[in-house]
Amino acid sequence: MANIKISDLPAATTPTTGPELIPIVQGGITSQVTIANILPNSAASAGGYGSATQVGTFSTDAQGRFTAAASVTIAIPATQITNGVTGTGAVVLANSPTLVTPDLGIPSVLGAANITGTAAGLTAGNVTINTPNAQTTTSYTAVGADATRIVTVSNAAANAFLIPTNAVVPFELGTVLNIIQIGVGITTISAVTPGTTIVLSAGASPAAPVLAQYESATCTKTGTDDWYVVVGGGSGGGGGGGVTLASDVATATQLYPLFAAATTGSASTIYTSNPNYKFKPSTSELFVKGALKGLYGAAGDTWSVVIGDGANVANLYGSANVVIGNDALFVTDQASQNVAIGKNAMHDTTTGGNTVCIGYGAMYNNTSGSGNTAVGIGSLTSNLTGNNNTALGNGALTQSNSDFNTGVGINALAALTTGSGNTGITPFSAAGSYAPIFDPTTESNRMCLGSTAVTNAYVQVAWTIVSDARDKTSFAPVPHGLDFVTKLKPTAYKFRKNRETDEPVGIVRYGFKAQDVLALEGDSPVLVDTEKLDKLKFNSDSLIPILVNALQELNKKFEDYVAAHPPT
């Protein structure tokens, strides 16, 4: 049979029923042949598959012919969702879900069996979180459970909060131990084994910070055996601020001096709402942070004000003191009615009272001296038991330990040790040289005015000298007269600037040389003061009686002459 192109075949007719007829051409004759059906009907129903919430699924045979079709709802297991999504774009949900409040039921107790990890201190049984661990002992070592709770410390004596080594209690890194000091005694935070565990803080003792009453601290673990301690304040925040006495008095049932540890005696109650300020209502005393460490009550109203670290630190029974300055009235246990202002002012005073002391180290060594006034750095610093002295000026009466002296000016009466009743005023020259006209040491009842550099002394009227016979005794004739006067050697002179130069200062003056007068007086001088041989002094008032004697002698001679030579 010759090749026939299909395109040359006539179109087949479509039968209405039965097998499909395909036209066949053979030998130029067109005929129809019946062929069995190639694709039988499948189980898939006619229609569309898939939707917004479903996807279409299809089955095929080996020749890829559909044998089944269906729609399946989309369902993604929760286990297939992770938080590691990458890429770009956004995930869009076709429909917003309806949120339903879940029914959680009754929570069960959290037990150690339900907790995984290595947190120290979790043992069998229930886990308690943030329940205070109240400690009343004098030494407590932190345990693992303290990582989840606050440790309160309450003891009247000094006590310790100790941090163990990591080998003993392996706290997790970042663990924070919280401590609140609610007792009277000072709490020291330190390591059980300092050589292994490192404790650091910003306090005066970095490895052993302390907590006063109502102060708190957080201890944070930053390394295997490394801890940092941050000390905070009480209700006032530990950072200062104004004191509100109204609230302090209103809560006056809870506070003892913040920096005190009760050791002996009967502790007075002191209260405040701010740890930087303390108020004792029983005696109406107000104290500022760092002051009145170790105060014990005295009978009656004391009305004291104390400001400064270590100020009035050991006062047991004193009253009515005003103390301002670090370590001022440091030792006192019963001194009363004192004003001590300045670091170390009245430092060693124990029982002295009724004293006003202003200046760094003023009256530092005073123990029982009372009634003194010292104003100036180092004034009356060596006084131990001397009373009723007045020192005005830096270093005034600095070595004195006697009574009733008055020194005015820098280093006034600075050499005085045991003399009493002296007055010294301004011993310095204009050039700043210490040159007292007289510098008493053990002498008493001396008045020393100015320095040797004084060129003029002014007063409106002459000095009026006491000369009441009732105040005098041991009367005797003056042994000198005309003969003495005729031997005097008056001279004009000027003062020297100093003994190392002949340079004169001041105006021309008339007078005598003390050495010349002393030579005439002999071994019992009156006109010349020989108490200080290196600086002789002349008493001009005592020359007047000698001059009177000389005049009287001259008058007698004149009368005798007239009697012997009567006028003719």
**Residue type for position 541:** D
**Burial tier of 452 (Cβ tally within 10 Å: 0-12, 13-18, 19+):** middle
Query: Which residue in 166, 165, 129 sits closest to 149, CA to CA?
Result: 129
Query: Which residue in 272, 296, 248, 375 sits closest to 304, CA to CA?
Result: 296
**Burial tier of 344 (Cβ tally within 10 Å: 0-12, 13-18, 19+):** buried
Query: Which residue in 245, 272, 241, 250 sits closest to 259, CA to CA?
Result: 272
What's phi and psi for 78, nearest 5 deg? Answer: -60, -30
State how far Cα 189 lies from the chain centre.
Answer: 19
Q: Which two tokens stand for residue 442?
A: 């053990």
Distance CA 339, CA 329 (A): 9
Instruction: State how far the alpha carbon of 154 is from the alpha carbons of 157, 182, 209, in Å.
Output: 9, 5, 17
DSSP-based three-state secondary structure for 551: helix
pLDDT at residue 84 in the model: 52
**Burial tier of 482 (Cβ tally within 10 Å: 0-12, 13-18, 19+):** middle
Q: Which two tokens stand for residue 213?
A: 């009453």
Contact yes or no for 447/423 (Cβ under 8 A): yes
Q: Give 198's strand partners.
A: 226
- Give the domains, in start order, of the chain with CATH numbers: 6-30 (no CATH), 125-232 (2.60.120), 479-551 (no CATH)
Contact yes or no for 359/344 (Cβ under 8 A): no
Cβ neighbours, 10 Å, residue 401: 18
**Residue type for position 537:** K
Digits of tens for pLDDT over the chain (568 positions)?
A: 556 555 565 555 555 444 444 555 455 544 444 444 455 666 667 777 777 778 877 777 777 777 777 878 876 665 565 555 555 554 444 455 566 666 665 555 445 455 544 444 444 444 445 579 999 999 999 999 999 899 999 988 889 999 999 999 999 999 999 999 998 888 999 999 998 999 988 765 788 888 888 889 999 999 999 999 998 754 333 333 223 333 333 232 333 333 333 333 333 434 344 444 555 545 545 554 444 433 333 333 367 788 888 888 777 778 889 999 999 999 887 889 999 999 999 999 999 999 999 999 999 999 999 999 999 999 999 999 999 999 999 999 999 999 999 999 999 999 999 999 999 999 999 999 999 999 999 999 999 999 999 989 999 999 999 999 999 999 999 999 999 999 999 999 999 988 999 999 999 999 999 999 999 999 999 999 999 999 999 999 999 999 999 999 999 999 999 999 988 7
Distance CA 234, CA 242 (A): 14
DSSP state of 110: P
Distance CA 417, CA 289 (A): 38
Contact yes or no for 43/67 (Cβ under 8 A): yes
DSSP readout, 330-380?
Answer: -S-SS--S-EEESTTTTTT-SS--S-EEESTTTTTT-SS--S-EEESTTTT
Instruction: State how far the alpha carbon of 81 is from the alpha carbons of 45, 76, 78, 85, in Å.
Output: 35, 8, 5, 9
Distance CA 10, CA 12 (A): 6
Contact yes or no for 387/402 (Cβ under 8 A): no
Listed in sequence order, the residues at least 6 apart from 253 whose beta carbon sits closer than 8 Å to its beta carbon are 269, 271
Distance CA 336, CA 333 (A): 9
**Burial tier of 242 (Cβ tally within 10 Å: 0-12, 13-18, 19+):** exposed
pLDDT at residue 258 in the model: 35
Distance CA 352, CA 425 (A): 26
pTM for this model (two decimals): 0.52
Contact yes or no for 161/151 (Cβ under 8 A): yes
